[in-house]
Amino acid sequence: MNGASRTVLSDSPPSVGAASGTVDFFRPVRRRTRVVRVGEVEIGGDNPIRIQSMTNTDTMDTAATVEQTIRLVESGCEIVRVTAPSIRDAENLREIRRALDGRGIEVPLVADIHFTPNAALIAAEAVEKVRINPGNYADKKKFEIRDYDDSEYEAEIARVHTRFRPLVVRCRELGVAMRIGTNHGSLSDRIMNRYGDTAEGMVESALEFLDVCEDESYRDIIFSMKASNTQVAIQAYRLLAARLDARSPGEPSYPFHVGVTEAGDGEDGRIKSAIGIGSLLEDGLGDTIRVSLTEDPVREIPVAREIAERAERVARDRATRTEKIDVMSAPIANRFGHARRDTDRTDWAGLPIGGEEPIRVELDLPGALDRPAEVAARLAMDLSALRDIECESLLVGIGPFEHLVDLANEFAAVGLDMPISLRVLLADADLEQASRPLDSGVKIGRWVVSLSASAKDASITGAREAARRQGIPIEWELQAVDHEIPALVGRIFAGGVDATTAALSLGTAASLHDYRVLSSALADRGAARLPIVLRQYVEAVETKSIELVGVPVSELLDASVRLGSLLCDGIGDMVSIDSRVGAAPAIDLAYRVLQGARQRTTRTEYISCPSCGRTLFDLEEITARIKGRTDHLKGVKIAIMGCIVNGPGEMADADFGYVGSGVGQVTLYVGKQVVARAVPEAEATDRLVDLIREHGQWVEGSTPE
Ligand code: SF4
């Protein structure tokens, strides 16, 4: 634990009493794993985080699969997965391997298996790793609702073991590795009936298969726990880590392949992937990653590379910190399930925040009053749109009083009534000036006061007295890193917790782990019910890939990992963005991250798979077509799946589903219910729109063709 003598939190999964695990939420180190060899590539141990992807060509089309594999390798992909839906496909993997060898491409291949144990046995002869899905390796999905008594359940497991054991034996003989890849969308009926579609069910599903592997002394295993719901994915990986630790205490465990499945495309696909994968990597969980996008798989590689490099860079920085972090309370209410910090609802000049209120979104405009012309120019294109983009609060640095009044008047002229908050220096003159707007009728939501370790206690007391006099609460923005945070929090609340404090935050350089320290330190000081504001800085770095949302992809990924992880952990009542790329893209990014973390829904949600050789139509094109018709439907969830493998399970999370079921044929779902089979592809988008209408979830805004 990095030499620090702080409290290390030990927590047991709530519903699996036998399991335990220790985790350092403040300075996590990489989970200790054995090394699994996949061809010439080693996964786990001290090896770098490996980047992998999957082809979406027809496996029987050797030339196309080889060409796409080579493009993936040239873009930095280290392991390539290819689907083997039938025995013929499995047999053709040997041709693909041979063709790649002939081109001098040694990249390890992974055979992706669902439903066909016989194909797995053949594929194992030709590839370096086999991926099996415990939900469908030996089970056909029937959606049976029935109770299994213990003896029936055991009999089912024995049946599964009997079907699985030959593959384990063959992989051990051949020196082929295996991924036990559980997917939230394809749990077996047996697991669903006992555990539901929960993180616990996902973990149990994988451990049933591990029993056979260990029984056969086969340990070249990698696990994955994928879900399109970022929270579920994070919880399942954490729970699996705890369960594996409990199973073999003190021993290096099995490596993790980390990913968010059916993440979709474009910015939202990248955001969801970064939230799930980045959050886990930053906590030391993950040895190989795949970013699943509904796009050309080559486009996944730079995203994966950036997320992995970010995690490795942050881990190196963290490793240099050794000072004691003096906190006692847990920073996260429930690491195996989502629970938002329980804060008091409060009001900042008309903006309700905290408690059950939605997580708020603020634009932070430093210099808005000192340099009004410059800021006005930056805002010019955005000002009238601030309401449309649902910017809920504005934070400006203190400056000339008349500029603040001008700004407030400009807002009033375009009908904006959001509260304005003032960033104030911890100096008497500033505090006095910050009080003046009240005389003009400008409503101030809060003062944001930056506080560093060098601040004098008398200044803190003075600010609190000014806040009490003026009736404007303070958000204390701590300019501190992990071990410095508890002491600063202690100084703020030396005189007790009262209404002069509106919220706490950290500077934009703070890590997500620093925010966790803040959460614990507040709880230690009896201030757990105060809101926390998450600050994010969006830089306008030079990049070729600004095409997505007007935000550089590196900034988009950084915001997603940092904010998204905390939001999934239940930390944060407001996201405040300081943007150099304009107001609209930054606010849009904040809302997208909130939706990606399942915290606030403000747009249509698409759950679309990356497609693979099982897909019998152009999923990218279909997704674009469906989006073109439906992306104005706020809050509607639409699943778009290339095939049935994960389709039915993911429907549990979607309002409507579009699932490929044959050449040019689609099955349409409402929730989990199939409502139309064998719909010709040419008609399927219209039928989907009709279904949305029939179920009262259509709004005009885009005219159906
Ligand atoms: S759901 Fe999509 S990616 Fe998954 S197996 Fe089916 S077609 Fe392939």
Task: Report which DSSP code applies to 48.
Answer: P
CB 620 within 8 A of CB 266: no
Q: Is 609 in the pocket of ligand 1 (CB under 6 A)?
A: yes
- pLDDT score, position 399: 77
Take atom 6 of ligand 1 and give the residue whose Cα is closest. Answer: 643
Segment 24-31 mean pLDDT: 92
Distance CA 211, CA 29 (A): 28
Angle 457-470/485-492 helices, nearest 10 degrees? 50
Q: What is the pLDDT of residues 102-132, one digit of tens each?
A: 999 999 999 999 989 999 999 999 999 999 9
E strand or H helix that includes residue 180: strand 177-183
Backbone angles phi and psi of 644, in degrees to 5:
-80, -10
Cα radius of gyration (the chain)? 27
Give 643 Cα–ligand 1 centroid separation in angstroms. 5
Distance CA 290, CA 305 (A): 10
Residue range 605-694 forms a domain whose CATH class is alpha beta
Residue 9: pLDDT over 60:
no
Task: Report which DSSP code applies to 701.
Answer: S
Q: Is 610 in the pocket of ligand 1 (CB under 6 A)?
A: yes
- pLDDT score, position 659: 92
CB 559 within 8 A of CB 536: yes
Q: Is 292 in the pocket of ligand 1 (CB under 6 A)?
A: no
Distance CA 12, CA 55 (A): 39
Mean pLDDT score of the chain: 89
Segment 18-47 mean pLDDT: 84
Q: Which atom of ligand 1 has the smallest separation from the CA of 660?
A: 7
Cα 225–229–230 angle (5° rounding)? 75
Q: Is 188 in the pocket of ligand 1 (CB under 6 A)?
A: no
Sign, CA torsion 65/69/72/77: positive
Q: Is 643 in the pocket of ligand 1 (CB under 6 A)?
A: yes
Task: Please tell me whether residue 100 adopts helix, strand or coil conformation.
Answer: helix
465 contact partners, CB below 8 Å, separation of at least 6: none
E strand or H helix that includes residue 64: helix 62-74
Q: Is 608 in the pocket of ligand 1 (CB under 6 A)?
A: no
Q: What is the pLDDT of residues 369-411, one digit of tens each?
A: 766 666 666 555 556 667 677 889 989 887 777 777 777 777 7
Q: Which atom of ligand 1 has the smallest separation from the CA of 646?
A: 1
The amino acid sitting at 381 is: M
Give 375 Cα–ligand 1 centroid separation in angstroms. 47
Q: Is 623 in the pocket of ligand 1 (CB under 6 A)?
A: no
Distance CA 164, CA 178 (A): 12
Q: Which atom of ligand 1 has the smallest separation from the CA of 644?
A: 6
Strand partners, 474: 447, 501
CB 680 within 8 A of CB 604: no
Distance CA 705, CA 702 (A): 9
Task: Report which DSSP code applies to 276.
Answer: I
**Nearest C-alpha neighbor of 396 from the set 385, 411, 384:** 411
645 contact partners, CB below 8 Å, separation of at least 6: 114, 115, 133, 136, 183, 185, 186, 614
Q: Is 561 in the pocket of ligand 1 (CB under 6 A)?
A: no
Q: What is the pLDDT of residues 546-581, one digit of tens each?
A: 455 678 888 999 999 999 999 999 999 999 998 888
Q: Which atom of ligand 1 has the smallest separation from the CA of 112?
A: 5
Distance CA 625, CA 638 (A): 13
Distance CA 405, CA 691 (A): 51
Torsion of CA 513, 515, 521, 526, to 10 degrees: -140
Q: Is 229 in the pocket of ligand 1 (CB under 6 A)?
A: no
CB 97 within 8 A of CB 77: no
Take atom 3 of ligand 1 and give the residue whose Cα is closest. Answer: 611
Which of 612, 619, 658 has most ligand 1 atoms within 8 Å of its beta carbon, as the pocket-test mutant?
A: 612
- pLDDT score, position 384: 63
Give 459 Cα–ligand 1 centroid separation in angstroms. 60
Tokens found for residue 681: 């592809």
CB 347 within 8 A of CB 353: yes
Distance CA 208, CA 160 (A): 9
Q: What CATH number should be reported for the domain whose range is 30-319? A: 3.20.20.20
Q: What is the pLDDT of residues 645-679, one digit of tens each?
A: 766 666 777 999 999 988 889 999 998 889 999 99
Tokens found for residue 373: 């012309």
Tell me the percentage of the chain whose pLDDT exceeds 90: 69
Q: Is 648 in the pocket of ligand 1 (CB under 6 A)?
A: no
CB 199 within 8 A of CB 225: yes
Which of 59, 83, 115, 183 has most ligand 1 atoms within 8 Å of its beta carbon, as the pocket-test mutant?
A: 83
- pLDDT score, position 368: 66
Q: What is the pLDDT of residues 576-612, one digit of tens each?
A: 998 888 788 889 999 999 999 999 999 999 999 999 9
Give 101 Cα–ligand 1 centroid separation in angstroms. 27
Give 262 Cα–ligand 1 centroid separation in angstroms. 9
Q: How far is CA 534 from the centre of its chain?
A: 16
Sign, CA torsion 161/164/170/176: negative
Which of 81, 83, 186, 614 has most ligand 1 atoms within 8 Å of its beta carbon, as the pocket-test mutant?
A: 614
The answer to whether 30-319 and 346-596 have equal CATH topology is yes
Domain boundaries, the chain: 30-319, 346-596, 605-694
Q: Is 183 in the pocket of ligand 1 (CB under 6 A)?
A: no
**Nearest C-alpha neighbor of 348 from the set 404, 393, 313:** 393
Take atom 7 of ligand 1 and give the residue whose Cα is closest. Answer: 642
Task: Please tell me whether residue 479 adopts helix, strand or coil conformation.
Answer: strand
**Nearest C-alpha neighbor of 420 from the set 448, 443, 453:** 443
CB 409 within 8 A of CB 433: no
Residue range 346-596 forms a domain whose CATH class is alpha beta
* pLDDT confidence tier of residue 427, bands split at 50, 70 and 90: confident
Give 39 Cα–ligand 1 centroid separation in angstroms. 25
CB 442 within 8 A of CB 470: no
Task: Report which DSSP code applies to 277.
Answer: I
- pLDDT score, position 333: 84
**Nearest C-alpha neighbor of 651 from the set 632, 667, 664:** 667
Strand partners, 33: 253
Tokens found for residue 112: 């992706």
Tokens found for residue 165: 């054991």
Segment 69-80 mean pLDDT: 98
Strand partners, 256: 223
